A and B are shown apart, each in its own frame.
Chain A
Amino acid sequence: MIALSLLALAAVLLVALTLWRRRSPGALRLIDAYERLNRSVGLAVENGTRLHISLGRGNLFTTRAGSALAGLAMLRRLAERTSVSDRPPVVTSGDASLAILSQDTLQSGYRAAGAEDQYRFTTGQLTGLTPFSYAAGSISTIHDENISANIFIGEFGTESALLAEAADRENTSLIAASDNLSAQSVFYASSQEPLIGEELFAAGAYVGAGASHEASLNVQDILRWLIILAILIGSVLKFGSSL
C-alpha cells in the first residue's frame, strides 16, 4: 500500500509539475558535466567529428532499465541536435534490446529534425554481449571513428575503466554517469567532471528534452525530502521507544 501510494503521489506530482513547467520554465542548477556535454555537442557538429554515446549494458527486464531509458531520452535529443553534422553520432550498447531501441531513437531524432535520410542503422551498434566483450568492442569504436567526445550513460561495471582509459588515450572528452556504484567510482577517478548518483537521470532535462524532464527533477526533490522526513521521524520514534 505504501508503494502504491508513493507511485500515485509521484504520478500526480509529475503531471501537475509538467503542466506548471510548460507555463513557467525554471532554471536548473549548474552541473559542469552537462555544460561540457552541451559544448562538446556543438564542437562536434562544427568541426565534423563524431560523438560516441554508450548506453551501457543495462537489461531492460531488470531494475537497471531506468538508467538505460534515461540514456535513450538524452540520445533522442542529441540525435536531433546533431542531425546537421557531417558525421552522425555512433551509439554503442551491450544489450541487444537496448541496441535496437537506440536505432529506433536515432531514427526518431533524425525524423524530428527532418533529416531521416541521414539515418544509418549501423550507427546504433551492439558491440558485445558480455561486459568485457562490450568494452572491447566499444574501445575499437573510440579508437577508429574520429570521436571528439564520449558520453557514457547507463549501467556499466568496472569494465568502464577500460572505456575511460581509451577515451583518455584519444584525448577526447568524457562525460559519464552510471547507476552502478562501482562504475561511479571509476568515473569519478577517470572523467573530468563526474556525475554522481541521480545526476544521471537529469540528463534529459539538461539537454532540453522537455518540461516533463525538468518536472521529474522537481518530483524527485519532493520525494527525497519526504523520505528524509520519514527517516528522521522513524529514528526519533525508535530512539524514543528505546528509552
Chain B
Amino acid sequence: MRIFTAAFAIAAGFIVLLGYFFPAQVESLRLLLVDWAIVIAGMAVLVGIFNLVAVQMEKIRTRQKGGMYGVILIVSLFITFVFGLVLGPDHPYMRLTMDAIIVPVEASLMAILAVTLIYASIRLLRRRVDVMSVLFLVVAVIFLIAIMPTPFGPLLGERGNQALVDFLGMFSHGGTRGLLIGIALGTLLTGLRVLFGIDRPYGGN
C-alpha cells in the first residue's frame, strides 16, 4: 500500500510539473489532477475540524488544563456550523457573527501583537547584544520615525523622507532578494526530493 501511494504521488507530481512546461500535451491532465487535489483539500478541512473537536473532547474527558475553553470552542463551533448550514453563509445573522465576534477578536489580537512586537524589540538587546541586533533596532526605529504621520507632514520633509527610505531601502531590497533567492532554491530542492520519493510526507517512509 505504501509503495502504491508513493508511486501515485510521484506520478501525479511529475504530471503536474510537466503540465507547466508542456501545456499542449499534458495541460488537461494537470488541471484534472489539480481539481481533484482542491476537492480533497476541501474535505481535509472537514477532517481537520473533526481533529480539532476530537482533541478538545479528549481534553474535556481527561479534565486537562484548558478543558473549559474546549467546551466553549465545541459549543460555538457546533452552533455556528448548524446556523451556517440552515441559514447560509451570506445570511445577515451569519455576517453579524463575523462582524460582531470574529473581526473584533482578531483586531484585539492584532493590537496585542503590536505591543508584543515592541516588547520583543526591547528584549532583543537583553537577549543578544551584537552589531546586527543593534543595527536591526536602529534601522527599525529610523523607519518608524520616517513613516510616522504628523500634523505637519513627514518629519524630514517629503524629499528628505523619500531619500532616507530610498537609501535604507537599497540595502533591504538587496537583502530581501538574496533571502528570496535562497528560499526559492530551498523550495526547489525540497520539491525535487518529494518528486523523487526521497521524502514521503504522506506516510510512505
Chain A residues near B188 (CB-CB < 8 A): 6-7, 10, 66, 223
State A34–B183 Cα separation when bound (angstroms). Answer: 18
Chain A residues near B171 (CB-CB < 8 A): none
State A100–B65 Cα separation when bound (angstroms). Answer: 25
B41 contacts which of A18, A76, A96, A213 (Cβ < 8 Å)? A96
State A184–B172 Cα separation when bound (angstroms). Answer: 13
Can you name 10 A-B pairs with beta carbons within 8 Å?
A63-B187, A66-B186, A70-B190, A72-B201, A73-B190, A73-B201, A101-B202, A104-B201, A196-B179, A198-B179
State A159–B110 Cα separation when bound (angstroms). Answer: 8
Which A133-173 residues have C-beta < 8 A from chain B? 133, 135-137, 140, 143-144, 158-159, 161-162, 164-165, 168
Can you name the residue of chain A whose Cβ is closest to the Cβ of B67? A144
- Whether A162 lies near B109 (C-beta < 8 A) is yes
Chain B residues near A100 (CB-CB < 8 A): 44, 47-48, 51
Besides A108-B204, A212-B193, 14 other CB < 8 A contacts? A72-B201, A100-B44, A100-B51, A104-B203, A105-B203, A121-B51, A127-B52, A136-B109, A140-B66, A144-B66, A165-B120, A184-B179, A220-B182, A223-B188
- Whether B48 lies near A96 (C-beta < 8 A) is yes
Q: A31 at interface (Cβ–Cβ under 8 A)?
A: no
Can you name the residue of chain B whose Cβ is closest to the Cβ of A227? B181
Given A72-B201, A122-B55, A197-B179, are A66 and B190 neighbors across the interface (CB < 8 Å)? yes
- Whether A126 lies near B192 (C-beta < 8 A) is no
Chain A interface residue count: which class? 35 or more
Chain B positions 39 through 52: 1 when the CB is less than 8 Å from some CB of chain A, otherwise 0? 00100111111011
Chain A residues near B124 (CB-CB < 8 A): 188-189
Q: B8 at interface (Cβ–Cβ under 8 A)?
A: no
Which B141-200 residues have C-beta < 8 A from chain A? 176, 178-183, 185-194, 196, 198-200
Chain B residues near A175 (CB-CB < 8 A): none
- Whether A132 lies near B106 (C-beta < 8 A) is yes
- Whether B41 lies near A192 (C-beta < 8 A) is no
Chain B residues near A216 (CB-CB < 8 A): 186, 189-190, 192-193
Chain B residues near A67 (CB-CB < 8 A): 183, 187
